[in-house]
Amino acid sequence: MKGEKESENYEKIRELPEEVKKEIEELQKNLKTFKKELLKKFPFILAIGIMPPQASKLIEEEEEVEKEKDEKLIHVIILVGKEEAKNIKEMVKLKTEAIALVKDLKPKVWIHLKSVDDLWEICFDGKYALMEAISMSFPLHDKGILGALRVASIHKMLVLKKFERYVVSYVLAGSLVRGEAEKTSDVDVYVVIDDTDVKRMPRFELKEKLRAIIYSYAFEAGNLANVKNKLNPQVYILTEFWEAVKDAHPVIFTFIRDGVPLYDRGAFMPWKLLLKMGKIKPSPEAIDMFMSLGERVSENVRRKLNEIATEDIYWGVITPSQALLMLYGIPPTTPKETVSLVKEIFVKKEKLLEPKYAEILEHIVDLYKKYEHEKVKAISGKEIDKLLEKSSEYLKRLKELMKQIEKKAAEREITKAYETVFKLLADMFGKASEQVMIKKFEEFVKKEGIASRNLEFLKKIVEAKKKLKKGKVTKHDIVEAHRAAYELTNTLLDYKRRKELIELEKKKIRIIYEKNGKKQIAELIVFEDEIFLVPDIRTEEVKKFKNGKFFKSSVEELREKIKKSKKGEKRLSSELLTALKEELGCFDLLV
């Protein structure tokens, strides 16, 4: 297939052996003076590039280059704009000067001088492999055209590799073709895909899938080409394209008129020729449609003004208001809830926002609702100006409010971290001053072998609290205090749980007994004032010993008791042992 050959040619051009790369690098160094002298005398040159060795045969056949048998030539291409190319005298002078500058270089350098129009003619003649070779030239100087061609050629190769049998045309268009491109201009390409034999998928779905893949290739091509030019692909399916031609769509007419095919299966060039001959004309229906569009301008302008006054301004104030409520700690609100919560929290409760700003928000929301329910039909330009002014005033105040909320949030965050940690320490060491508590914790860290970083965490929390009092706390301090509190709290809770488990194990007595001919394991938990029995450790059944018998209890009651229990010895009375025999039958104690 033709597309497969295009891709193969491209791969050969692109993949260079290491020794060839080194040779090119050496040549680039040797041609530095050549480039400098040439640009000094002819600053209008768009690009100078060394064509890849694999492209030599293509260019030599095209240009009918005369050389000795087995003679090795390096081909250098110089590109100029179409206006400069019209000055024949200057072009002769440029080529003569270029040849003189390289005449003593080894291997021999062959100069090719081409205008942008010459490049496009190569494409119009269907010599796509030659165009690919030029696009892969190693740039000595480039005002953007070589880079743009390179990224388009790489993208074309990726698209053909994936969709070769469906690609009708891959066409370069836009400012690059018109000669208006700059070094960082977007590269506009159009991909037309044949959808006429697709039967299993709706055309809209097909187009969206194609678009997604072709767009992803644009990003990949940009990385491979290593250029700043952003590739901007437009994807058309063939049936849709013909509809656009029939309806005289201006974009399609411009595309056909100015476009240059980098790949074509014999469709684009006939379109171009038919347009040039005046054979592609808008239908009467299309003319009527364009006329009616003109007549609807005033109506569209009024509608857009109303949309600005309602939807744009409405969402412009609602969304930031919702964001500030979330910053305050409120879950995402509906637009309806937002107005009342702004009033309730920021105006009444926190007294951070002046009532007039809540009134601005309420007015904008009310206007939107009236327009939505057609109670307001139209809004004048003067009213829109006033609304824009008020919404700007409101948004400016919201930015200040955000700083106030962040400050409040910082106070809450650091205070909460401080109080949580010192409450845990008070549970462990008893109430004491901050300094005493830090000293006790320092001793505790050394004694219990706790990681020393926990002491640093405690000091960070204390330092953040001090900065908060002085009004010098930063976002970094808040984040650090929050992280320190999280780490330290987890460490202390883990330590506390381990201690509780150790104490609980001291209070447990394992019991082995038989039930329905099978051995069971029960646990007796003996506290200083109460005794609990778990008849089967595989279930959550709990019983409590009272007045010589076991009565039904619960896991919750047992957990609560564990929390409040103190150290004490396990004592088993004869009364308890009798009750156990009644409850379990014959048993053995595992102390």
Predicted local confidence at residue 248, as pLDDT = 63
Environment class of 97 (CB within 10 Å of its CB; exposed 0-12, middle 13-18, buried 19+): middle
Q: Which long-range contacts (CB under 8 A, 24 or more apart) does 173-182 make?
A: 173/254, 173/255, 173/258, 173/259, 173/260, 174/232, 174/258, 176/145, 176/148, 177/120, 177/258, 177/259, 177/260, 178/258, 179/81, 179/82, 179/83, 179/116, 181/144, 181/145, 181/148, 182/143, 182/144
Predicted local confidence at residue 13, as pLDDT = 44
Q: What is the pLDDT of residues 257-298, one digit of tens each?
A: 889 999 998 888 888 888 888 777 665 555 555 555 555 555
Environment class of 380 (CB within 10 Å of its CB; exposed 0-12, middle 13-18, buried 19+): exposed
Q: The pTM is what?
A: 0.48
Domain range list for the chain: 1-143, 145-285, 297-379, 408-502, 516-590
Q: What is the pLDDT of residues 331-389, one digit of tens each?
A: 778 877 888 999 999 899 888 899 999 999 888 888 888 877 777 777 777 887 888 88
Q: Kindly report the number of other CB atoms within 10 A of residue 436's CB atom.
A: 12
Low-confidence ranges of the chain (pLDDT < 50): 1-13
**How far apart, in Å, do the first and last CA atoms of the chain sit?**
86
DSSP string, 433-480: -HHHHHHHHHHHHHHHT--THHHHHHHHHHHHHHHHHHT---HHHHHH
Predicted local confidence at residue 18, as pLDDT = 67
CATH class assigned to 145-285: alpha beta
Helices 88-102 + 32-41 axis angle, to 10: 160
Predicted local confidence at residue 386, as pLDDT = 86
Predicted local confidence at residue 291, as pLDDT = 56
Q: For 353-380, where are the alpha helices, taking DSSP H only? A: 355-372
Predicted local confidence at residue 113, as pLDDT = 92
- Do residues 499 and 567 touch, judged by C-beta distance below 8 A? no
Predicted local confidence at residue 12, as pLDDT = 46
Cα(276)–Cα(284) distance, rounded to whole angstroms?
20
